[in-house]
């Protein structure tokens, strides 16, 4: 049995499937894909994932993509340490939250992240070179996102994204008033999902929301997440996302 996990820095999607791998005590080979070098669009990587995105799980040669799919796959194949409730009603609750995070949270937090961070990377690349890099991006929407990051997202789009994030944190806060974890009284993939996409960084990204005051239960939940050894181990991976740390050198494997 061999597991290989292709990923970038331990944040957002790359973190979201790394935590279950570690929670389940699975041995896996970690393969770092350098987004700053556009390795996700290089031939060697697109041969593995034609969509040119991280993360990717390779299980004995079976390629699994998209974090929610990867995480459910891990539950199906390695059920011993369960992160999905065995009770179908509770499992449905977990999937409700996963759907909410995937469809209504991830893209909005991501837009702010791209605006602040990826924008710096994109603007550091000289014209001509940038357009060439864009041609290699397999997903049309992803190409548009890179171009928007370079020119800057509109104020209206950013404000709309913030509004959706406020709705999401208030919704989570309310849920945590009723249950200890998002999908009920057990820690599940839904907690890992919201934490990776929003919960771990919402205060840092949006100080103006005063999350500490607005969402005290979410802050307490986040501390419980941080205290999990698997989360701490995943976060200990090298983080090279800070803008300015890297500039594009133009060589892709
Ligand atoms: N729905 C996908 C989203 C994957 C995704 O957005 N990956 C980002 C990193 S967090 C990526 O590869 N970005 C680089 C790019 O698209 O150029 C999943 O759940 O895995």
**Structural class in CATH, domain 3-77:** alpha beta
pTM of the model: 0.93
Return the structure tokens found at 56: 């990717």
55 CA distance to ligand 1 middle (Å): 7
Calculate the alpha carbon distances from 179 to 19, 63, 220 in Å: 22, 35, 13
Overall residue count recorded for the chain in this entry: 253
What pLDDT shows up at residue 250? 38
Mean pLDDT of the chain: 93
The contacts of residue 235 (CB under 8 Å, 6+ apart) are: 10, 15, 200
The CATH class of the 88-228 domain is mainly alpha
Residue 196 structure tokens: 């990776």
d(CA 203, CA 215): 10
Q: Tens digit of pLDDT for each residue in 168-223?
A: 999 999 999 999 999 999 999 999 999 999 999 999 999 999 999 999 999 999 99
| CA-12 nearest atom, ligand 1 | 10
- pLDDT of res. 36: 86
Does residue 13 line the site of ligand 1, with CB under 6 A?
Answer: yes
Where, residue-wise, is CATH 1.20.1050.10 in the chain?
Answer: 88-228
Q: Is the CB of 121 under 6 A from ligand 1?
A: no
Evaluate: CB of 107 within 6 angstroms of ligand 1. Answer: no
Q: List all residues 6 or more positions away from 212 whose beta carbon is below 8 Å from its beta carbon.
A: 203, 219
Give, using CA atoms, the residue closest to atom 11 of ligand 1: 53
Q: Where in the chain is the domain with CATH 3.40.30.10?
A: 3-77
Ligand 1 atom closest to the Cα of residue 8 is 9
Q: Is any atom of ligand 1 closer than 6 Å to the C-beta of 98? A: no
Q: At residue 242, does pLDDT exceed 80?
A: no
């Amino acid at each position: 049995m061999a597991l290989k996990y292709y990923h970038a820095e331990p944040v957002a999607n790359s973190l979201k499937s790394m935590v279950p791998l570690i929670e389940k005590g699975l041995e896996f080979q970690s393969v770092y894909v350098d987004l700053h070098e556009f390795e996700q669009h290089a031939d060697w990587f697109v041969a593995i994932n034609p969509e040119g995105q991280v993360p990717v799980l390779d299980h004995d040669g079976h390629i699994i993509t998209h974090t929610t799919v990867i995480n459910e796959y891990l539950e199906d194949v390695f059920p011993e340490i369960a992160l999905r409730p065995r009770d179908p009603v509770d499992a449905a609750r977990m999937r409700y939250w996963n759907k909410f995070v995937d469809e209504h949270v991830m893209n909005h937090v991501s837009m702010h992240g791209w605006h602040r961070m990826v924008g710096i990377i994109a603007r550091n690349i000289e014209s001509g070179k940038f357009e060439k890099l864009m041609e290699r991006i397999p997903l049309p929407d992803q190409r548009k996102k890179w171009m928007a990051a370079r020119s800057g997202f509109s104020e209206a789009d950013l404000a709309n994204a913030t509004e959706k994030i406020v709705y999401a944190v208030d919704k989570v806060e309310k849920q945590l008033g009723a249950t200890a974890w998002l999908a009920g009284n057990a820690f599940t993939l839904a907690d890992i999902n919201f934490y990776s996409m929003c919960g771990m960084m919402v205060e840092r990204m949006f100080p103006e929301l005063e999350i500490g005051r607005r969402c005290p239960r979410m802050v307490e939940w986040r501390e419980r997440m941080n205290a999990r050894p698997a989360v701490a181990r995943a976060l200990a991976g090298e983080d090279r996302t800070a803008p300015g740390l890297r500039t594009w050198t133009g060589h892709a494997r």
